[in-house]
Amino acid sequence: MRRAVVRSSATQELEVILPSKLAIENVSKNFQSASGPVLALDRVSLNVAEGEFVCLVGASGCGKTTLLNIIAGLEKPDSGTVLADGKPVTGPGRERLVMFQEPALFPWLDVFGNVLFGLRLKPNLTNKDRRDVAKYYLELVGLSRFEHANIHELSGGMKQRVSLARALAPNPRVLLMDEPFAALDALTREQLYGDIQEIWKARRKTIVFVTHNVREAACLGDRVLLFSPHPGRVQAEFMVDLPRPRDINSVDLAAHATRITKALKSVGHAETNAAK
Amino acid sequence: MKRFLLAAAFFAILALLWEIAYRAKIWSPVLLPSPGQVVTYLEGAVADGTLAKATVITMRRLLVGYLVGVIVGLPLGLLTARWKVFGDTIGTLALGLQTLPSVCWVPLALLWFGQTEAAMLFVVVMGTLWSVIIATETGVRNVPPIYRRAALTMGSKRLHMWFKVILPAALPFIVSGMKQGWAFAWRSLMAAEIFVTILTGFGLGQLLHYGRELSAMEQVIGIMIVIVVIGLLADKIFFSPIEKFLHRRWGTSQA
């Protein structure tokens, strides 16, 4: 009913021309620490377009994970708004799934059960559909053979692949990734860079990817946002227009990474100087 | 198979030492009967049905009381973990009463319920309940927050969250609490049966008691063996498979 009302009004026109999948406006967040309140995010604004791959880079503790949690709806901002598809985010939702840094897989379920978990919560599917979809995503991340494996039997890289399959399975339009590859060895990480680009292309997701690794950001993102800490702010923005799939070791990519690293260092220096 | 043979040899040697001690006449045969005498008693008790009857009565008391304890304890444990009010009240009460040896409930149960089945049931429930409450509460409190957060993003909430995330995540704690509750219930029931003669049925504890009254040592030892075997079987048949499953899933097994 409500949708019909909206359609007949001018609001629809406004919605149609809204280009952003995610619109973050003036979001601020404080934390209580032992030494008093810390401003984790200071009036952060950013827009993410449909199908865009945005990387947030910054030193540890610059508030990028907090921002990701706020977009996910797991935390509430002290002020400011987050709009997803033009609607305010009030809590977690299937449309915006999170892949955490540590694999948050459920040890009481096997691999297949984990991938199925989110699907079971999705209405309007038959159980056969759910199983087929789960199988498809396990195949996509190359773990079909490990369907019935227990979680503790998997390597770190395999766990993150299962996490990825679990996050993808309910077909969210936005994928929020919080340093998902930080704990993996270089070789596994490089494989996953390839995988994630392929999946992003095949499934046309909007991805917000948090990392402290500049090369990783340059390899994956259409756009790289540089965060400065204390208080957390968006300091600079870089477009990365290299063709895909990108190789993390390519020279062109290194040039981009160097540019971002320089900016990152200057942010660090500014902060050190300010502290003096 | 090798492990089984080793274990069998171990128990055979135990029986042999016992026989040797009997033949050496270190103690009076009244105090230490031979293994053969104990077996003869057990055969007789099996043949005339005494043993089966007593076992059924004891197991019925134990199972009913235990189930009540678990069924009441689980939700109470969830409540104490979920709401501070319940944690501060029921949680504290459970913590306090859990330290009370469950046999201490026997005098109170007798005064309240007299020499009835209700008294037996009460003692068993008191033995089970507090351990289950505390284990459930601890288990829920120890669920890593990341599981909740992950489940939240996938659309799990309220009852689904409790039944599909928090309870399974707390299962290792809950099972060890149930096992402890079982041990407490078993001990307290035996104590109650030894102290209390109940006309509605003779349990194993009562057989043990009359063995003492009649100075029938082969009966005392025979019943003790039966009690040990029941405890072992409960562990092997009921708890062991669950624990094995948990170890396999969680990867916590050493072997």
- Which of A106, A155, A171 to mutate: most B Cβ within 10 Å? A106
Arithmetic mean of pLDDT over chain B: 90
Peptide bond connecting A231 to the previous residue in cis, omega within 30 degrees of 0: yes
Give the pLDDT confidence score for residue A271 in this predicted structure. Answer: 54
pLDDT tens-digit map of B143-178:
999 999 999 999 998 899 999 999 999 999 999 989
**What one-character DSSP code corresponds to residue A123?**
S
Contact state of A74 with B171 under an 8 Å Cβ cutoff: no
- The CATH number covering residue B61 comes to 1.10.3720.10
Instruction: Tell me the pLDDT tens digit for each residue of A178-219.
Output: 999 888 888 888 888 988 998 888 888 899 999 989 999 999
Q: Is residue B105 assigned to a domain? A: yes
Q: Using the predicted structure, report yes or no on whether residue A147 has a pLDDT greater than 50.
A: yes
pLDDT band at A10 (very low <50, low <70, confident <90, very high): low
Nearest by CB to residue B249, choosing from A94, A107, A170, is A107
Report the number of distinct structural domains present in chain B: 1
In terms of average pLDDT, the best of A34-43, A191-200, B69-78 is B69-78
Classify strands A87-88 and A79-84 as parallel, antiparallel or unpaired: antiparallel
Given a contact cutoff of 8 angstroms between Cβ atoms, the answer to whether A105 and A151 are in contact is yes
Position A106 scores a pLDDT of 95
Give the least confident one: A170-179, A205-214, B103-112: B103-112
Q: Which residues of B touch A122 (CB under 8 A)?
A: 155
Please spell the DSSP secondary structure of A149-208, one letter per residue.
-BGGGS-HHHHHHHHHHHHHTT--SEEEEESTTTTS-HHHHHHHHHHHHHHHHHHT-EEE
Please report the pLDDT score of residue A8 as a whole number.
47
Record: contact B150-A104, CB cut-off 8 A: yes
pLDDT band at B253 (very low <50, low <70, confident <90, very high): low
Tell me the domain boundaries of chain A.
Answer: 20-95+172-276, 105-171
CB contact (8 A) between residue A72 and residue B153: yes
Testing the interface with A: which of B153, B165, B243 to mutate, by most A Cβ within 10 A?
A: B153
pTM of the full structure: 0.81
Q: Report the CATH architecture of A20-95+172-276.
A: 3-Layer(aba) Sandwich (3.40)
Task: Identify whether B230 is part of a domain.
Answer: no
Give the domain extent around B101: 56-223
Residue A121 to residue B154, Cβ atoms within 8 A: yes
ipTM of the complex: 0.83
Q: What pLDDT is recorded for position B74? A: 93
Flag if B155 and A92 touch (Cβ within 8 Å): yes
Nearest CB to B154; choose among A73, A107, A117? A117
pLDDT classification of A18: cutoffs 50, 70, 90: very low
B121-151 confidence digits (pLDDT tens): 999 999 899 999 999 999 999 999 999 999 9
Contacts of B151 in chain A (CB under 8 A): 117
